Amino acid sequence: MLKVMVVDDEPYILQGLQVLVDWESEGFEIDALMSNGKEALDYLKDHTVDLIISDIKMPVMNGLELLEEIEKNHLSEAKFVLLTGYDDFSYMQRAIRNNCMDYILKPVSKEDLIAILHKVSNLSSEKESVRETQKNMEDAYLASNLMSIIKGKYDDQNVEYVNKHLQLTGGIRFVDIEMVTDMIVDDEDDSDLRLSQKQLFIACKDILKDSANHFIFDVSYEKDNYDVGFIYCENMATRRDLDEKAFFEMFLKKLEVLFIKPVRIMCGKMVNDVSALSKSYSSCIRISSIKGFHSQKSIYYYEDDIQVVLSGMVLCKNGLDEVISAIQTNNEEMIRKAVADLYEEMNVSGDNNNIVDLNINYLLFQLIHLASEQDDNVNQEEVIQYISEKSFENSINRGSRQHIERFAIEYADYLNGLRKNVSRGILSDIEAEIRDHYAENISLRNLGEKYYINSSYLGQIFRKKYNQSFKDYLTNYRINEAARQLISTDKKINQIAADVGYRDCDYFIRKFIETQGCTPSKYRKNHSM
């Protein structure tokens, strides 16, 4: 509701204006009734209103004097409307110079008052729209500065801006809040997931309203990861009389109420300054590489899940080296034996889950470096993405011998694909496959099997060349072919959808709108001769 102050020394006018219109239905409420300008000035020192309706002629301080004092001392941004008679027009020039918005002739008619209210309401909406646009621009600029720091490509201006606009007290963490999408199948709609990601972003900001600008939409190092970044600092917990873990548990409980889909929170390494935020971000990537090999949790902490204190812990170095060596040779029998020997060695060392976690973490980090050494074009983040994709086996226990054995065999095949450096010739064959079979159910997995290439590696080199995923490339190809048929044939839309590989016509139309910006029927109409 927009708040209104009415100023007039005639009580019957004050009372009459209150009942002349239905203020609430117009979006207004009368907040104050004053008998002269002095009373109004005193009230404005401690209160905010959106509209002031004031008589010109009053004792103590008249309406023009009230207006001039408000303008001179910047007491209020309220719109100002004068109540005037026919003989008061000599005052209007003076009123206009002081930003008087309008006037209403006495006696006040219902129609005139409603017209004024609509004008104020429209101006208020425009002002709010401008304010919201400016706020969005400021948030976007803050996010771009944060992204520069998070990615490690920043300067002093980035750091200065972030320190000025964020509440950073105590230690700082980069926190990744992601939707759990481990079970998403290839044909799920990306636009639906993107919408859910936006809902997650809104829910996060709603929970921590006082720190809403600490959240960043879509920070992920993985294209298919639908996440929200969060810059956490220690005072967020302390000012709520909570320790850090209690804070994140509280945050997660509230998030589960506002956002119905499961989420996973990964808390990166604590750093002392925003300029070191990239180290905290990198530690989140490391958490991502190991989370699939241990018991599932909703909240991960770098210190608990990665930074294992070696004192009193046993690193089975010989067994780990044997597993790595077997993976390098891509010998399935050797891999099975090496993994079995490693688990036997860990069991002898003691029945301690931390021993298993430590050794699996060490193995994964060694495998990341091993892959990077095979092909200079493959960076660690891409390898981590592959590991994350291959780590979720719902049919077997995470971190079990069977789990690691299966992963090691597949990873050996992955390394073999890197060694072959297949990126030089295979992509032209993939392009031909899409041209010839785009309407069929083709996938990276099927293509990988056909050409004896690891599908995850094929996805990496495809994205590197075309700057988009295989799925997006195939979708664009199908939609472009559909657009061609819309212009050059008289086929019905559902027939064209089937021709280019979409059994669900509604899904086809959604994808067409995303790509072309309009419906298929409108596209056909716009391009018809």
| pLDDT score for 395 | 52
**Given this model, what pLDDT does residue 357 score?**
74
Place of tokens 């996805």: 459
What CATH number has the domain bearing residue 98?
A: 3.40.50.2300
Structure tokens at 514: 């995303």
Contacts of 7 by beta carbon, 8 Å cutoff, 6+ apart: 34, 35, 36, 37, 39, 40, 52, 53, 54, 55, 58, 63, 66
456 and 372 together in one domain? no
- The helix/strand/coil state of 299 is strand
State the pLDDT at residue 385: 63
Amino acid present at 236? M
Asked if residue 132 belongs to a domain, the reply is no
| Within-domain flag for 378 | yes
CA count, 13 A, side-chain hemisphere, 18:
12
What's the CA gap between 430 and 428, in Å, rounded? 5
So what's the pLDDT on residue 236? 94
Whole-angstrom distance, CA of residue 513 vs CA of residue 506: 11
Element (H or E) spanning 284, and its range?
A: helix 277-290
87/213 same-domain check: no
Q: What are the tokens at 140? A: 């976007």
From 277, 305, 333, the end of a domain falls on 305
Which residue, among 69, 129, 71, 61, has the nearest Cα to 101 in the 3D structure? 71
pLDDT at 309: 40
The pLDDT, as a whole number, for residue 295 is: 66
Examine the domain organization and report whether 175 and 300 are in the same domain.
Answer: yes
How is residue 135 written in tokens? 């706020």
Dihedral over alpha carbons 310, 314, 317, 322 (to 10 degrees): -140
Same domain, 397 and 411: yes
Same domain, 353 and 428: no
Instruction: Give strand pairing partners of 216.
Output: 229
Per the document, the length of the chain is 529
- Of 305, 336, 368, which closes a domain? 305
Instruction: Label each residue of 436-467 as H, E or C.
Output: HHCCCCCCHHHHHHHHCCCHHHHHHHHHHHHC
pLDDT at position 383: 67
Reply yes or no: is the peptide bond before residue 520 cis, omega within 30 of 0. Answer: no
pLDDT of residue 127: 81
Are 262 and 365 contained in the same domain?
no
Sign of CA dihedral 404, 405, 408, 410: negative
Are residues 186 and 301 both part of a single domain? yes
Number of domains in the chain: 4
Nearest Cα residue to 411 out of 395, 385, 387, 380: 387
Q: What is the pLDDT of residue 346?
A: 81
Instruction: Give the DSSP H/E element, type plus range, for residue 230.
Output: strand 227-233
Say what the pTM is. 0.53
Residue 187 is predicted with a pLDDT of 47
One DSSP character per residue, 118-135 reads: HHHHHHHHHHHHHHHHHH
Strand, coil or helix: what is 92? helix
Give the integer Cα–Cα distance in Å for 482 and 437: 14
88 in a domain, yes or no? yes
Q: Determine the angle formed by the axes of helices 317-329 and 401-420, rounding to 10 degrees.
A: 50
At 2, the amino acid letter reads: L
Q: 301 and 170, same structural domain? A: yes
Q: Pick from 248, 266, 273, 353: which is nearest to 303 by CA? A: 266
Q: Is 13 helix (H, G, I), strand (E, B) or coil?
A: helix
Ordered per-residue pLDDT tens for the chain, 529 residues: 899 999 999 998 898 999 999 999 999 999 999 999 999 999 999 999 999 999 988 999 999 999 999 988 889 989 999 888 755 556 666 777 778 888 888 888 899 999 999 999 988 888 877 777 778 788 888 888 998 898 888 889 999 999 998 988 889 999 999 888 655 444 456 677 888 889 999 999 999 998 999 999 878 755 567 889 999 999 999 999 999 999 999 999 999 999 988 899 999 999 999 999 988 998 887 777 676 666 678 899 888 776 544 444 567 778 888 988 898 888 889 999 999 988 888 877 665 666 777 787 778 777 877 776 665 555 556 666 667 666 655 555 667 888 888 888 888 887 777 666 544 567 778 888 888 888 888 888 788 777 767 677 777 778 877 888 888 889 999 999 999 899 889 899 999 999 999 988 888 998 898 888 889 998 888 877 5
Instruction: Look at residue 180 and tell me if it is in a domain.
Output: yes
Please tell me the predicted confidence (pLDDT) of residue 189: 61
Clarify whether residues 10 and 108 are in a common domain: yes
CB 239 within 8 A of CB 128: no
Residue 326 placed within a domain: yes
Q: Report how far residue 462's alpha carbon sits from residue 470's, in angstroms, rounded to the nearest whole number.
A: 7
Domain of residue 175 covers 166-305
Q: Transcribe 165-190 into DSSP letters.
A: HS---S-EEEEEEEE--TT--TTS-H
Domain boundary among 362, 391, 420: 420
Tell me how many degrees the CA angle 289-180-473 measures, rounded to the nearest 5: 80
